[in-house]
């Protein structure tokens, strides 16, 4: 484990950085993160590395090239992680404090000032942040200025080394590193700390980690630039951020990655399904047993077989020769049951929502009960989201609370009927909030539009 104090105490920062990156890339944590990325992309490593073997006369295993080696890979873990993120973040993030104001035409509109400050790309960035937090257990979001807006860069476990404080465990710095082809292309590394960031690059024409050298000394996160005809662009000042602008997000209280306690089940599913497909190819569907044909010449046997295959008939000496056809059925019931059990266990253990279990006549009570495990997991995930997003807001000097609208499947007709039956006792916002086909971002716009229409309505005067 590397800490901020390790970096701070290092006399030769460049040498320490090289050793830190090499050590991290050889660690179990990094290799697990690489494997998680492979599974999330549907490149399940276990089934991809399966080799079908046969044992030779000496009893040693050899690759059997005569056997089919179909490798069917499931993407259930990607599906489950996507469901968890879309469930909480599919409708974006909204904030508690909203303000009424007038637009250019004088109409009353509801403005989410916090959302406007964060920018249009915030929802997309948070979704990716959440996806890779669920996949790897932890991910980081780098929040930095881009002109008059804020920009968001995702740091994943496969390219970022956190440097927490030894005493408080608070993130004090970090190392981001990347190369499009490790050892054969240039390597870039950036060390982030509270005062700014330092950039390192490999020397020209050298690509190994030992060629990593200082390229740009400590630079502040915010700089004031002046432009003049005489001197062009000049940095005339800098402004520090109140905290390190890199924010961790955890998958839940246990910080588990997607493959923790799930890999064995996913691999078993792949092995059973692939094995079934291979058995179909390896076993002949129809074969013939020919007796009394020992006196036939090879070309006669070949002709007989061709007639059986092409014409489905052949004539032999009934007294001395005989043809008997056989079919071979592959047992599949046991495999089918095993796949069904594995699928159910995978969804249950991860706390996912299996849409195959929904029936056409499912009521909202039935669907709500199926969502219960997913709701429990979402509670833990959203608790982490709230804490991490509030850290970003604190850096920006904003006191607000993020809100999430869960993206649920429901019996919309039944839910709409229930809301309409109680409409007389509900206010307009509550009615709109509970209608299943209206998102949280649409509610304020609808209310503002209805208010504007009402104010524009003119009641004609009665003639005397």
Who contacts 417 (Cβ-Cβ below 8 Å, separation ≥6)?
A: none
Of 238-247, 344-353, 416-425, which has the strongest mean pLDDT? 344-353
Q: How would you write the chain as a 3-class SS string?
A: CCCHHHHHHCCCHHHHHHHHHHHHHCCHHHHHHHHHHHHHCCCCHHHHCCCCEEECCCCCEEECCCCCCCCCCCCHHHHHHHHHHHHHHCCCEEECCCEEEECCCCCEEEECHHHHHHCCCHHHHHHHHHHHHHHHCEEEEEEEEECCEEEEEEECCCCEEEEECCCCCCEEEEEEEECCCCCCCCCEEEEEECCEEEEEEECCCCCCHHHEEEEEEEECCEEEEEEECCCEEEEEEEECCCCCCEEEEECCCCCCCCCCCCHHHHHHHHHHHHHHHHHHHHCCCEEEEEECCCCCCHHHHHHHHHHHHHCCCCCCCCCCCEEEEEECCCCCHHHHHHHHHHHHHHHHHHCCCCHHHCCCCCCHHHHHHHCHHHHHHHHHHHHHHHHHHHHHHHHCCCCCCEEECCCCCCCHHHHHHHHHHCHHHCCHHHHHHHCCCCCHHHHHHHHHHHHHHHHHCCCCCCCC
Within a domain: 124:
no
Whole-number Å distance between alpha carbons of 85 and 352:
11
What local confidence, expressed as pLDDT, does residue 455 receive?
A: 65
Within a domain: 47:
yes
Q: Categorize the per-residue pLDDT at 229 as very low, low, confident or very high, splitting at 50, 70 and 90.
A: low
Q: Is 410 a residue whose pLDDT tops 60?
A: no
Q: Is 236 a residue whose pLDDT tops 50?
A: no
What local confidence, expressed as pLDDT, does residue 415 receive?
A: 66
Percent of the chain having pLDDT more than 90?
Answer: 47
Domain hosting residue 3, numbered range: 1-36+138-250
Q: Is 260 a residue whose pLDDT tops 60?
A: yes
Is residue 128 within 8 Å of residue 136, measured between CB atoms?
A: no
Tell me how many domains the chain contains. Answer: 3
What local confidence, expressed as pLDDT, does residue 199 receive?
A: 95
Q: Is the same domain home to 434 and 399? A: no
Least-confidence region, from 131-140, 238-247, 411-420: 411-420
Q: Is 301 a residue whose pLDDT tops 70?
A: yes
Within a domain: 122:
no
Q: Is the same domain home to 176 and 99? A: no
DSSP codes, 118-152? H-TTHHHHHHHHHHHHHHHSEEEEEEEEETTEEEE
> What angle is formed at CA 182 by the lines to CA 194 and CA 37, rounded to 5 degrees?
75
Specify the higher pLDDT residue, 424 or 26. Answer: 26
Q: Is 235 a residue whose pLDDT tops 50?
A: no
Strand stretches in 251-321, DSSP E: 286-291
Whole-number Å distance between alpha carbons of 386 and 250:
11
pLDDT, tens digit, 9 for 90 and up, residues 371-389: 888 889 999 999 999 999 9
DSSP 424: G
pTM recorded for the entire structure: 0.79
Q: Is the same domain home to 420 and 360? A: no
Within a domain: 78:
yes
Q: Is 432 in a helix, a strand, or coil? A: helix
216, 250, 284: which is the final residue of a domain? 250
Count of C-beta atoms within a 10 Å radius of residue 278: 18
Nearest to 225 by CA among 215, 216, 236, 214: 236
Q: Is the same domain home to 343 and 427? A: no
- Is 2 exposed, middle or buried, given 0-12, 13-18 or 19+ CB atoms closer than 10 A? buried
Q: Is 390 a residue whose pLDDT tops 90?
A: yes
Within a domain: 328:
no
What local confidence, expressed as pLDDT, does residue 245 receive?
A: 95
Q: Is the same domain home to 31 and 172? A: yes
- Is 413 exposed, middle or buried, given 0-12, 13-18 or 19+ CB atoms closer than 10 A? exposed
Q: Categorize the per-residue pLDDT at 270 as very low, low, confident or very high, splitting at 50, 70 and 90.
A: very high
Within a domain: 237:
yes
pLDDT, tens digit, 9 for 90 and up, residues 427-438: 877 887 777 677
Within a domain: 371:
yes
What local confidence, expressed as pLDDT, does residue 394 receive?
A: 94
Q: Is 461 a residue whose pLDDT tops 70?
A: no
Q: Is the same domain home to 175 and 245? A: yes
Q: Is 40 a residue whose pLDDT tops 80?
A: yes
What local confidence, expressed as pLDDT, does residue 79 receive?
A: 94
What local confidence, expressed as pLDDT, does residue 231 receive?
A: 47
Specify the higher pLDDT residue, 461 or 387. Answer: 387
Within a domain: 264:
no
Who contacts 422 (Cβ-Cβ below 8 Å, separation ≥6)?
A: none
Q: Is the same domain home to 91 and 67? A: yes
Residues in the chain: 464
Q: Is the same domain home to 365 and 342? A: yes
Summarize the confidence of residues 82-87 as an average pLDDT.
Answer: 93
Q: Is 318 a residue whose pLDDT tops 70?
A: no
Summarize the confidence of residues 328-344 as an average pLDDT.
Answer: 87
Q: Is the same domain home to 345 and 432? A: no
pLDDT, tens digit, 9 for 90 and up, residues 48-57: 998 887 787 7
Q: Is the same domain home to 358 and 426? A: no
Q: Is the same domain home to 202 and 227? A: yes
Nearest to 2 by CA among 14, 17, 11: 17
Nearest to 175 by CA among 158, 186, 166: 158
- For the record, the structure tokens of 308 come out as 């059986």
Summarize the confidence of residues 255-275 as an average pLDDT.
Answer: 92
Whole-number Å distance between alpha carbons of 409 and 157:
32
Percent of the chain having pLDDT more than 70?
Answer: 83
Work out the mean pLDDT of the chain and round it to a whole number.
84
187, 217, 250: which is the final residue of a domain? 250
Nearest to 147 by CA among 217, 231, 225: 225
199, 232, 250: which is the final residue of a domain? 250
Q: Categorize the per-residue pLDDT at 237 as very low, low, confident or very high, splitting at 50, 70 and 90.
A: very low
Summarize the confidence of residues 307-320 as an average pLDDT.
Answer: 70
Name 325's bridge partners.
Answer: 288
Estimate to the nearest angstrom the gap between the alpha carbon of 213 and the chain centroid: 34
- Is 291 exposed, middle or buried, given 0-12, 13-18 or 19+ CB atoms closer than 10 A? exposed
Whole-number Å distance between alpha carbons of 22 and 97:
46
Q: Categorize the per-residue pLDDT at 148 as very low, low, confident or very high, splitting at 50, 70 and 90.
A: confident
Q: Is 338 a residue whose pLDDT tops 80?
A: yes
Whole-number Å distance between alpha carbons of 143 and 155:
11
Q: Categorize the per-residue pLDDT at 412 as very low, low, confident or very high, splitting at 50, 70 and 90.
A: low
Q: Is 23 a residue whose pLDDT tops 90?
A: yes
Count of C-beta atoms within a 10 Å radius of residue 357: 12
Q: Is the same domain home to 157 and 26? A: yes
Whole-number Å distance between alpha carbons of 202 and 207:
6
């Amino acid at each position: 484990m590397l800490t901020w104090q390790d970096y701070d105490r290092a006399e030769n920062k460049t040498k320490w950085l090289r050793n830190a990156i090499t050590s991290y890339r050889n660690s179990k944590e990094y290799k697990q993160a690489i494997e998680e990325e492979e599974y999330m992309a549907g490149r399940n490593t276990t089934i991809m590395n399966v080799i079908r073997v046969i044992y030779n006369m000496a009893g040693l295993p050899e690759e059997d090239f005569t056997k089919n080696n179909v490798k069917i890979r499931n993407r259930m873990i990607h599906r489950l992680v996507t469901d968890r993120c879309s469930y909480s973040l599919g409708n974006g993030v909204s904030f508690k404090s909203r303000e009424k104001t007038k637009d250019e035409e004088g109409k009353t509109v509801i403005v989410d000032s916090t959302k406007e400050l964060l920018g249009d790309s915030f929802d997309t960035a948070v979704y990716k942040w959440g996806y890779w937090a669920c996949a790897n257990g932890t991910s980081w979001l780098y929040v930095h200025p881009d002109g008059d807006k804020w920009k968001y860069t995702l740091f994943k476990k496969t390219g970022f080394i956190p440097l927490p404080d030894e005493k408080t465990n608070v993130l004090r710095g970090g190392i981001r590193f990347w190369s499009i082809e490790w050892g054969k292309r240039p390597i870039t590394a950036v060390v982030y700390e509270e005062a700014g960031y330092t950039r390192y690059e490999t020397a020209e024409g050298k690509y190994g980690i030992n060629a990593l050298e200082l390229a740009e000394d400590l630079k502040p996160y915010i700089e004031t630039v002046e432009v003049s005809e005489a001197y062009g662009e000049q940095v005339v000042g800098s402004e520090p951020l109140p905290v390190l602008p890199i924010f961790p997000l955890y998958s839940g209280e246990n910080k588990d990655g997607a493959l923790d306690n799930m890999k064995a089940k996913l691999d078993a599913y792949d092995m059973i399904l692939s094995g079934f497909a291979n058995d179909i190819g390896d076993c002949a569907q129809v074969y013939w047993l020919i007796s009394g044909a020992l006196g036939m010449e090879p070309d006669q046997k070949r002709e007989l077989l061709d007639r059986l295959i092409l014409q489905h008939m052949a004539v032999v000496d009934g007294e001395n020769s005989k043809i008997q056809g056989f079919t071979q059925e592959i047992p599949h019931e046991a495999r089918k049951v095993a796949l069904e059990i594995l699928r159910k266990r995978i969804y249950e253990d991860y706390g996912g929502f299996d849409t195959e279990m929904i029936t056409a006549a499912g009521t909202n009570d039935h669907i709500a009960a199926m969502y219960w495990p997913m709701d429990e997991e979402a509670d833990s995930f959203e608790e982490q989201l709230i804490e991490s997003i509030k850290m970003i807001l604190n850096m920006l000097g904003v006191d607000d609370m993020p809100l999430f609208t869960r993206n649920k499947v429901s019996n919309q007709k039944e839910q709409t009927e229930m809301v309409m039956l109680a409409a007389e006792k509900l206010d307009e916002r509550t009615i709109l909030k509970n209608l299943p086909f209206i998102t949280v971002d649409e509610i304020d716009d609808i209310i503002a539009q209805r208010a504007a229409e009402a104010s524009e309505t003119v009641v004609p005067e009665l003639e005397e």
